Chains A and B, each alone.
Chain A
Amino acid sequence: MEMLDLAFMQRALLAAVLVGITAPAVGIYLVQRRQALMGDGIGHVAMTGVGLGFLLNSSPVWMATAVAVVGSVAMELIRAYGKTRGDLALALLFYGGMAGGVLLINLSPTGSNANLSSYLFGSLSTVSTEDITAIGVLAAFVVLVTVGLRRQLFAVSQDEEFARVTGLPVRALNLLIAVTAAVTVTVAMRVVGLLLVSALMVVPVAAAQQLSKSFRATFVLAVVTGITVTLAGTVTSYYQDVPPGATIVLYAIGVFVLLTLLATPLAKRRARAAGAGAESCDAPVPATRRPTDDVKV
Chain B
Amino acid sequence: MAAPEQEPVISVRGATAALGARPVLRGVDLTVHRGEVVALLGANGSGKSTAVRAVIGQVPLTGGAIRLFGTERKRFRDWARVGYVPQRTTAASGVPATIREVVSSGRLSRRRFGWLTRADKAAVERAIDLVGLTDRAKDSVSALSGGQHQRVLIARALASEPELLIMDEPMAGVDLASQEILASTLREQVAGGTSVLLVLHELGPLEPLIDRAVVLRDGCVVHDGPPPEALGQHALPGHDHVHPHAAGEPLRTGLLT
B109, A167: Cβ atoms closer than 8 Å: yes
Q: Which of B32-40, B95-103, B209-217 contacts A (4 or more CB under 8 A)?
A: B95-103
Q: Which of A26-34, A43-51, A180-188 contacts B (4 or more CB under 8 A)?
A: A26-34
Q: Which of A4-12, A193-201, A205-213, A242-250 contacts B (4 or more CB under 8 A)?
A: A205-213
Could you mark each residue 148-172 of chain A with 1 if its beta carbon is under 8 Å from any beta carbon of chain B, else 0?
0101101101110111111110000
A214, B138: Cβ atoms closer than 8 Å: yes
B101, A214: Cβ atoms closer than 8 Å: yes
Whether, in the assembled complex, B108 has its beta carbon less than 8 Å from a beta carbon of chain A, the answer is: yes
**Cβ contacts under 8 Å, A34 to chain B:** 93-94
B111's nearest neighbour on chain A, judged by CB, is A151
CA A158 to CA B136, docked complex, whole Å: 19
- In the complex where A32-B93, A159-B86 touch, is A167 in contact with B139 (Cβ < 8 A)? no
Whether, in the assembled complex, A218 has its beta carbon less than 8 Å from a beta carbon of chain B, the answer is: yes
Whether, in the assembled complex, B69 has its beta carbon less than 8 Å from a beta carbon of chain A, the answer is: no
8 Å CB contact of B58 from A33, A165, A216: A165
Determine how close the nearest CB of chain B comes to the CB of A283; give it in whole angstroms. Answer: 19
Interface residue SS majority, chain A? helix
Could you mark each residue 118-156 of chain B with 1 if its beta carbon is under 8 Å from any beta carbon of chain A, else 0?
000000000000000000101110010000000000001
**Cβ contacts under 8 Å, B84 to chain A:** 162, 165
8 Å CB contact of A209 from B95, B113, B138: B95
Could you mark each residue 48-73 of chain B with 1 if its beta carbon is under 8 Å from any beta carbon of chain A, else 0?
00000000111000000000000000
**Cβ contacts under 8 Å, B75 to chain A:** none
B113, A215: Cβ atoms closer than 8 Å: no
CA A162 to CA B84, docked complex, whole Å: 7
Q: What is the size, in residues, of chain A's interface with B at 8 Å between Cβ atoms?
A: 32
Determine how close the nearest CB of chain B comes to the CB of A209; give it in whole angstroms. Answer: 5
Whether, in the assembled complex, B252 has its beta carbon less than 8 Å from a beta carbon of chain A, the answer is: no
Whether, in the assembled complex, A114 has its beta carbon less than 8 Å from a beta carbon of chain B, the answer is: no
CA A47 to CA B108, docked complex, whole Å: 38
CA A33 to CA B156, docked complex, whole Å: 19
CA A36 to CA B98, docked complex, whole Å: 21
Determine how close the nearest CB of chain A comes to the CB of B84; give it in whole angstroms. Answer: 4
CA A119 to CA B138, docked complex, whole Å: 43
CA A164 to CA B105, docked complex, whole Å: 11
B58, A157: Cβ atoms closer than 8 Å: no
Whether, in the assembled complex, B82 has its beta carbon less than 8 Å from a beta carbon of chain A, the answer is: yes
Whether, in the assembled complex, B88 has its beta carbon less than 8 Å from a beta carbon of chain A, the answer is: yes
**Cβ contacts under 8 Å, A31 to chain B:** 94-95
Q: What is the size, in residues, of chain B's interface with A at 8 Å between Cβ atoms?
A: 34
Whether, in the assembled complex, B243 has its beta carbon less than 8 Å from a beta carbon of chain A, the answer is: no
B109, A157: Cβ atoms closer than 8 Å: no
Whether, in the assembled complex, B46 has its beta carbon less than 8 Å from a beta carbon of chain A, the answer is: no
B96, A162: Cβ atoms closer than 8 Å: no
CA A209 to CA B93, docked complex, whole Å: 12
Whether, in the assembled complex, B112 has its beta carbon less than 8 Å from a beta carbon of chain A, the answer is: yes
B77's nearest neighbour on chain A, judged by CB, is A167
CA A154 to CA B58, docked complex, whole Å: 20
A157, B93: Cβ atoms closer than 8 Å: yes
Whether, in the assembled complex, A274 has its beta carbon less than 8 Å from a beta carbon of chain B, the answer is: yes
Could you mark each residue 38-75 of chain A with 1 if its beta carbon is under 8 Å from any beta carbon of chain B, else 0?
00000000000000000000000000000000000000
Whether, in the assembled complex, B106 has its beta carbon less than 8 Å from a beta carbon of chain A, the answer is: yes
A155, B138: Cβ atoms closer than 8 Å: no
- In the complex where A213-B140, A274-B143 touch, is A166 in contact with B105 (Cβ < 8 A)? yes
CA A28 to CA B101, docked complex, whole Å: 15
B108, A215: Cβ atoms closer than 8 Å: no
A205's nearest neighbour on chain B, judged by CB, is B95
Whether, in the assembled complex, B11 has its beta carbon less than 8 Å from a beta carbon of chain A, the answer is: no
Whether, in the assembled complex, B233 has its beta carbon less than 8 Å from a beta carbon of chain A, the answer is: no
Determine how close the nearest CB of chain B comes to the CB of A169; give it in whole angstroms. Answer: 9
B95, A32: Cβ atoms closer than 8 Å: yes
CA A247 to CA B58, docked complex, whole Å: 46
**Cβ contacts under 8 Å, A214 to chain B:** 96-98, 101, 138, 140
**Cβ contacts under 8 Å, A166 to chain B:** 79, 105-106, 108-109, 112, 160
**Apart from A213-B140, A214-B101, what are 11 other A-B pairs with CB-CB below 8 Å?**
A31-B95, A151-B108, A161-B86, A162-B84, A162-B156, A166-B79, A166-B106, A167-B108, A209-B96, A215-B96, A274-B143
Interface residues, chain B, CB within 8 Å of chain A? 56-58, 77, 79-80, 82, 84, 86, 88, 91, 93-98, 101-102, 104-106, 108-109, 112-113, 116, 136, 138-140, 143, 156, 160
Q: Can you spell out 21 A-B residue pairs with CB atoms less than 8 angstroms apart?
A: A31-B95, A32-B93, A33-B94, A151-B116, A155-B108, A159-B91, A161-B58, A162-B156, A165-B56, A165-B84, A166-B108, A167-B77, A167-B80, A167-B109, A168-B108, A168-B112, A209-B96, A213-B140, A215-B95, A215-B98, A274-B139
